[in-house]
Amino acid sequence: MKRSLSVLWWTCLIALLISSQFVPQKKVSAESANHPNKVSRDIIGKVASGKGADLVRVIVQPSSPWDTTVDTTLQQSGGSNIRHFQNFAVRVVTISANAAVALASRNDVSYVSLNRDVQSLGHLSVTTGADQIRTSSGTNTTGLDGTGIGIAVVDSGIDLTHKSFLDRSNNLRVVHSEDFTGEGRVDDPYGHGTHVAALAAGNGRISNAEFVGIAPNANIINLRVLNSEGVGTTAWVLRALDWIASNRNIYNIRVVNMSLGMPAVDSYRNDPICRAVRKLVDAGVIVFAAAGNNGRDSNGNKIYGRIHSPGNEPSAITVGAANTFGSDARIDDNVASFSSRGPTRSSYVDENGNRQYDNLIKPDIVAPGNRLVEAQAMNNYLVSHNPTLDAGVSPVDNRKMMFLSGSSMSTPVAAGAAALMLQANSNLTPNLVKAVLMYTAQPLAGFNMFEQGAGELNIAGCVQLARSIRTDLTNATSLGSPLLSSDTILQPQTTIAGSTFTWSRGLILNQTYLIGSNLMTKYQPVYGTGLLLGDGVITGDEGLIPDRALLSDGVITGDQIMTSSGVITGDGTPFMALNDLMGGLLLDGNVFRDGVITGDGVITGDGVITGDGVITGDLILTAQSAMLNGENTSAMAADVDDGSDCIDY
């Protein structure tokens, strides 16, 4: 017995000495590591699979200020290409997987992890699912890129010299430009519109398609309504929308992007821009509007009721901002803290002299909008006043990229998705596009309907569903007719970046939500033109109920504003009763569980310009303030451009 213990003692001592000297020739098993919690699972997995002798690039973090003896040990154990940092006490080294596991047993090492590849190539297009529907495989023989669809960008202009707006034959895809500011120019001295247009439809020429837009071959119509300082007027916007109404057929303008806004003071019933948007939607044009960037006050407190105009218009698709934390995986996504929350607080005075708030549930969906990298206009105001916005991708003017954040960025991401849906099925109406976007969205756990609407944009799912919808639907199609072109039941799930999630399977509209599989298997007349989705709901003795002349059996309404469990619409914890919202009982200053509701649509603080008819670019001062107040700044990696054009996007 004593002999056995002695042998065991010497065996352990020898093993310890070997590990402390990091002899790379000795294979180290994952199971024998003294501190497996100090080494990443992918390194352990490599050793366990018999590949411990393979060289790997690892990051070594010390448990205390860096001890130079560790550097000596790294070299003695065969480490090479050791990288030091000026401000961080870590080392990056190439070493065998066995030696990496042994290294983790040292007391002066706190953690050893693999230097993983950052999946920056098309992060935005990967995490939204856009890449999946552009890949030709299986039965999907036609990759979608927005070809033939016109997207009108109502903004601060576009730098027409930027490489992002060429097609594969070097033709400019900005097919028309018009100035409504009176400055007599259609370029982008402010810098907002170029970035917005590239998010919706920028190509992948720069940095090997790392920053490809959502619909990279769509046509762009450049309508400049924000001046050199990013400010416009209601009249300029109305002129632009009027131009669209007159010229939409010439340029096949199916989508309008409005990454701008003004305080939503007047009810959508009276707001002139909202009414103009409604006319465009009734004519078959899909209008996307930014929710705004006023989700918190100057002290960082969460606030409600700050949806901008025209985002308060029921027929518009209002988009809030999600934060992807710079990763493709969607499991950690959430609603950006700066993103404006509903309900809409635009109002009117009724015949009895009482103020009535619209109190609509907005936004409709959220999309990535935090620290996105896209085209930088030459010598623009935003970068000249905020040099850190330059992403450092290229020194060449027409290849430069910049960081921007806000619902201004999330809106064109959704607009690009609509272009792909229309390319897949050109007969989709604005209401059907809106319904499909919401039905296929991913509900984000822990966020209520005022924050995320139906959930986060899912391009892979919405295009899949759009392909399946019949192409012969008209306003004369009868209630309850088959909506899909076949009897095949679509699985309401999508897998993106290895993570599978369930669709919301519901619609958020006006002051309630709808659920039921018939929403996407049976035709509902509210999907036609000239109606609002909300027209399918009426106020009865028992609250909000479906209008059975417009919605089929099997479609039901909810009675609570929900905080999502992350599964489907309607699941989760009640946030507030719909009767309170519908009855107009919300008063300015009322305290919700996690924030305060504000009123009258008057935006103050964070540098937002206010006043009658004044429109701001809905980004720089509000979004930058959100960053400075603590918003997570994880971003798309910005790899340096090598100067060569990539046309395989």
* Residues with a known catalytic role: 155, 192, 408
Amino acid (1-letter code) at residue 633: T
Peptide bond into 314 cis (omega under 30): no
SS (H, E, C) 179-241: ECCCCCCCCCCCCHHHHHHHHHHCCCCHHHHCCCCCCCCCEEEEEECCCCCCEEEHHHHHHHH
Nearest to 404 by CA among 329, 496, 293: 293
Using an 8 Å Cβ cutoff, are 394 and 206 in contact?
yes
> CA 601, CA 589: separation in Å to the nearest integer?
13
Residue 303, phi then psi, degrees to nearest 5? -130, 155
The alpha carbon dihedral of 266, 622, 586, 584 has a sign of positive
> CA 143, CA 463: separation in Å to the nearest integer?
11
> CA 631, CA 306: separation in Å to the nearest integer?
18
> CA 220, CA 230: separation in Å to the nearest integer?
20
485: which residues sit within 8 A by CB, 6+ positions away?
468, 469, 470, 471
Element (H, E) at 460: helix 459-468
> CA 154, CA 259: separation in Å to the nearest integer?
7
Q: Nearest-5° angle of CA 38, CA 44, CA 47?
A: 140
Structure tokens belonging to residue 248: 């939409």
Structure tokens belonging to residue 433: 């596009």
Question: Can you point out the beta strands (E) in 528-594?
Answer: 537-540, 543-546, 556-557, 560-564, 572-577
> CA 645, CA 595: separation in Å to the nearest integer?
48
Amino acid (1-letter code) at residue 583: G
Nearest to 343 by CA among 314, 376, 370, 381: 314
